[in-house]
Amino acid sequence: MKEKDIHPAVASAQPYQLAERDEDSGPLFESEEGRERLRKVLSRYPIKTAALGPLLNYARERHGWVSAGAMEEIAEHLDLTPAYVRSVATFYTMYNLHPTGRHLIQVCTCIACHLNRADDVFERFLEETGTRPGEISEDGRFTVMEVECLGACGFATAVQINDEYFEDVTPEKVGEILEGLD
């Protein structure tokens, strides 16, 4: 979605698409788009610090991950120290602090999925992509990770690939899912 079409009320909650990320990991807020996002997000909260989460999301949305440089830039715009920004960014699991493959594959292995062969699904993704957990595949396409509950317990095993959910996944379906990804 183009920045001008994003309503300020939802500017803090933009889904991201790693596959379409901006490969340029330059400054976030030097472009008109970046400044517009910053203005919109700041307009929604009575204190500046509250924009921290939304702006870390924005860094991930733009670059696919949150670099030290992005954290410093955010810190500067919110009058925070880079150390504080880092302390928040590392608390959560979804601000990727390292680059990932173009398709970030997150397999839920929490209890309900665990009961429905999630461990085998996870193993199969690793085998088929030839990676170890968290690693980027040689062709740069895939990173496979294990995650805690994705909130799709009735449709186990749940797998999230970038911003899409795949449900009722069995080890047998893994090959087909991977074939559908560029």
Partner 1 sequence: MSYPHRHELETTTVLSRYHGDPEALGLEGWLERGGYATLKKALDMQPDEITEVVKASGLRGRGGAGFPTGLKWTFMPKEPTSERPHYLCCNADESEPGAFKDREIMRWTPHLLIEGCLIAARAIRAEHVYIYVRGEYFPVTRALNGAVTEAYEAGYIGDDILGSGWNCDLTVHIGAGAYIAGEETGLMNSLQGNRAEPWIKPPFPAQAGVFGMPTTVNNVETLASVPMIVENGSEWYRQWGTEKSPGTKLWCCSGHLSRPGNYEIALGVPLRDIVYDVCGGAPNGKRVRAVIPGGSSTAFLTDDELDCETTYEGLMEAGSSLGTASPIVMDESTCLLKAMRRIAHFYAHESCGQCVQCREGTSWITKILRRIEEGDGRMEDIDTLYHLCEQLTGRTICVLADSVVFPLRSSLDKFRDEYEAHIRRDACTAT
Binding site for partner 1 (CB under 8 A): 7, 9-10, 12-16, 44-54, 56-57, 78, 87-88, 91-95, 109-112, 114-116, 147-156, 160, 163-165, 167-168
- Provide, rounded to whole angstroms, the least separation between the CB of residue 93 and partner 1: 4
Query: To which residue do tokens 């307009």 refer?
Result: 43
Residue closer to partner 1 (CB basis): 139 or 168: 168
Residue closer to partner 1 (CB basis): 68 or 111: 111
Residue closer to partner 1 (CB basis): 52 or 70: 52
Burial 145-156 (b: 16+ CB within 10 A, else e): bbbeebebbeeb
Q: How many CB atoms lie within 10 A of CB 85?
A: 25
- Provide, rounded to whole angstroms, the least separation between the CB of residue 158 and partner 1: 9
- Provide, rounded to whole angstroms, the least separation between the CB of residue 41 and partner 1: 9
Q: How far apart are CA 130 and CA 136, in angstroms?
A: 10
Nearest to 170, CA basis, from 119, 130, 129, 131: 119
